[in-house]
Amino acid sequence: MAKLAIIGGSGLDKLKNLEIERREVLQTPYGEPSGPLTHGRISGTQVVFLPRHGSGHTIPPHKVNYRANIWALHHIGIQDIIAVAAVGGITRGMAPATLAFPDQIIDYTWGRENTFFDDDDSAVTHIDFTYPYCIELRRKLIETTRREGITAIERGTYGATQGPRLETAAEIDRLERDGCDMVGMTGMPEAALAAEKGMCYASCAVVANWAAGRGEGDGHITMEEIEVHLKNAMTKVRGLLEAVIPAL
C-alpha cells in the first residue's frame, strides 16, 4: 500500500512519469476531494497522486476543498506528502524556474475551512505548528537535489495569500517586510491540516514568476510568462520526484 502522496499544483495536474494502476473516487465527511486519487508507481515505488486544482486546473485556490483532500489521503493510509506548488519569487535568489523548499509559512488567507477540530463534539485542540514542514522529508528532498545536481533554494518563508488575484506591489513589499521569500495561494490551510492528521508534509515550491513589482521592466506579470517558467521547472520537479521517491 502506498505511504507517499504527491499533491500537484499549477503546472502539475498530471504526472507524466507515473505508471497508473488505478483511480479511486472517495467521498469524505467534508465533501469531494479535488479529484480521484490516482494510484501508481514512480521508479517502481507505489505513490498516490492528487491534483490540487482538479483535472484540467479548474478549481481556484480559494475554493480548493483542502479538508477533503487531506482527509482522503489520510483515510487511505498516506503518511508522507510532497506538495508541489507554484509561487512568486520575492527575495533575491527566488528567480523564475527555481525550486525551493520552504521551512516556514505565514498565513494571510481568510474564510477558508482550516481545521478538522471545529465540530461541536471536538475537544479544544491546539497542534504544535512551530515547524510547519516535516524536517525529515525536507532533508531528503534537499539531499536528493544535492546528489542529483538540481539547483534549489533550501529554505525560505512562504507567504500564503487568499487569491485568486495576484498581489499588488505594495502587498509584496509588506510580505517582504514580514520576512516572506515567496508568495503562493495554496500553502494554507493544507500544511496545517496535514499536521492535524499527524502526516509528514513538505513543500516543493516552484517559482513561476517574480512577484508583483519585483521583475524587470514595468513589473507586470503575464500568464504566458508563468506558463513558460512552469514548463521548464516541472522538468526539474519530475526528475526530483523520480530520484527521491525510492529513498522514501
Do the Cβ atoms of 16 and 90 come closer than 8 Å? no
Write down the pLDDT at residue 14. Answer: 61
C-alpha cell at 156: 525560505
Residue 157: its H or E element = strand 157-160
Annotated binding residues: 10, 52-53, 185-186, 209-211
pTM metric for this prediction: 0.93
Class of domain 4-247: alpha beta
Spatial neighbors of 3 by CB under 8 A, at least 6 apart, are 46, 77, 78, 79, 80, 248
Q: How far apart are CA 118 and CA 114, in angstroms?
A: 9
Domain map of the chain by residue range? 4-247
**What's the confidence (pLDDT) of residue 222?**
74
CB 246 within 8 A of CB 143: no
Side chain identity at residue 228, one-letter code: V
DSSP 48: E
* Phi (first) and psi of residue 209, to 5 degrees: -170, 160
Q: Which of 72, 92, 103 is nearest to 203 (CA)?
A: 103
Residues 88, 208: Cα–Cα separation, whole Å:
6
Cβ 5 vs Cβ 49: under 8 Å: yes
Annotated binding site for phosphate: 10, 52-53, 186
Kindly give the pairing relationship between strand 99-100 and strand 200-210. antiparallel
Per-residue model confidence as pLDDT tens for the chain (248 residues): 679 999 986 656 566 678 889 999 999 999 999 999 999 998 888 999 999 999 888 999 999 999 999 999 999 999 999 999 999 999 999 999 999 999 999 999 999 999 999 876 767 789 999 999 999 999 999 999 999 999 999 999 999 999 999 999 999 999 999 999 999 999 999 999 999 999 999 999 999 999 999 877 556 777 777 777 787 888 889 889 989 998 87
Binding site for substrate: residue ranges?
Answer: 185, 209-211
Q: CA-to-CA distance for 112 and 74, rounded, in angstroms?
A: 20
DSSP code per residue over 177-228: HHT-SEEESSSTTHHHHHHHTT-EEEEEEEEEEEPTTTSSTT----HHHHHH
